[in-house]
Amino acid sequence: MIPNTPEIITPSSNHKAGFVSIIGRPNVGKSTLMNVLVGERLSIITSKAQTTRHRIFGIVSGEEFQIVYSDTPGLIRDPQYKLHESMMRFVHASLEDADVVLYLVDVREPELEEHIVKRIQLAETPIILVLNKCDLSTDEVIKERIAHFTLVLPNAIIIPVSALKKERTGEVFDLLLAKMPVHPPYYEKDELTDRSERFFAGEIIREKILTNYKQEIPYSSEVVITEFKEKPEILVIRADIYVERVTQRSILIGHNGESIKKLGIEARESLTAFFGKKIFLETHVKVEPDWRNKPHKLNHFGYNN
Ligand code: GDP
Ligand code: MG
């Protein structure tokens, strides 16, 4: 899907649209918050895996707005990179590309990350500092954090939330919307939801490839969802994982199929959590030499349309 140009869609002059990046350490609740933000206000989730610079997680559109939640490919495409460096590259990219950065921290942590704070202070991108997991803290501690972080990041808007309990997450959305620039929509507003669900299924499997294998494999793999069938009791998902060489196929499958089995178990767990449904998952690993350089294959994978 190619971003719309203003000539194709003529929205009202007040239409707001922009990109939001969520940054923060692992485990602070980024995915949880993202799901709430995308889910609660869901009208459309997009189906496109990659733009040149962003990895799109979800698009929430209304008549007068479109918020594109994204991640940059750098972070996920570099699983071997040391966490710190990888995160800083992500922070850099986010501050350059995003219209708003959501900086998420665990409210129980007394200090912000110094290197992130330094980088943020140099940027003009609006920052919303989200103090998450407030359900695990006390009013006193929350107040203390707000007072302290206001001094550390005077330009940030600070909001305490519980992503898990969906407390004050609506306000996060309102703050984001307030910060969105006036801009025509970047993507079409009438995407079909089932396409997007397929997309998320593919992304979840891709994520497990990234976390389970070393660099070469994720770079050389592509996931294609071949079946996505909703039944009353179960969601049936079949996926082909394409690699470029026979040796990569062996690595992906592993000794006695153990690696692919582990991948399947983890993917099924995440898919169950995401879709809130029992999942039947079947994966096939296929070799497609040099798929990245073959235009028809790329088309098939959805990169060109
Ligand atoms: P990520 O690594 O930053 O994406 O973090 P996740 O969204 O995967 O969350 C990590 C863990 O923290 C999960 O077990 C979540 O259920 C939990 N979590 C996320 N937000 C909250 C919250 O507001 N309160 C509590 N108690 N737990 C949360
Ligand atoms: Mg996460």
Which ligand lies nearest to the CA atom of residue 24 in the structure? 1
- Residue whose CB lies within 8 A of the most ligand 1 atoms, among 34, 164, 167, for a mutation test: 164
pLDDT at residue number 305: 32
Cα dihedral sign, 98-101-102-104: positive
pLDDT tens digits for range 101-139: 999 999 999 999 888 888 888 888 899 999 999 999 999
Q: The tokens of 214 are what?
A: 């070393």
Q: What are the residue ranges spanned by the domains of the chain?
A: 16-179, 197-300
| 170/88 Cα distance (integer angstroms) | 28
Cα dihedral sign, 68-302-236-263: negative
Given a cut of 90, is residue 198 above it in pLDDT?
no
pLDDT at residue number 73: 39
Pocket of ligand 1 (CB under 6 A): 24, 26-32, 132-133, 135-136, 162-164
Given a cut of 60, is residue 243 above it in pLDDT?
yes
Question: Span 206-212, mean pLDDT?
Answer: 86
What pLDDT band is residue 53 in, cutting at 50, 70 and 90?
very low
| 170/162 Cα distance (integer angstroms) | 11
Percent of the chain exceeding pLDDT 90 equals 39
Give the domain 16-179 fold. Answer: Rossmann fold (3.40.50)
Nearest CA to ligand 1 atom 12: 29
> Identical fold at 16-179 and 197-300?
no
pLDDT tens digits for range 64-85: 888 888 654 333 334 444 555 6
What pLDDT band is residue 203 in, cutting at 50, 70 and 90?
confident
Distance from Cα 273 to the centre of ligand 1, integer Å: 13
Distance from Cα 163 to the centre of ligand 1, integer Å: 7
Distance from Cα 251 to the centre of ligand 2, integer Å: 25
Q: The tokens of 222 are what?
A: 């592509």
Average pLDDT, the chain: 79
CATH number of the domain at 197-300, please? 3.30.300.20
pLDDT tens digits for range 215-235: 788 878 888 888 888 888 999
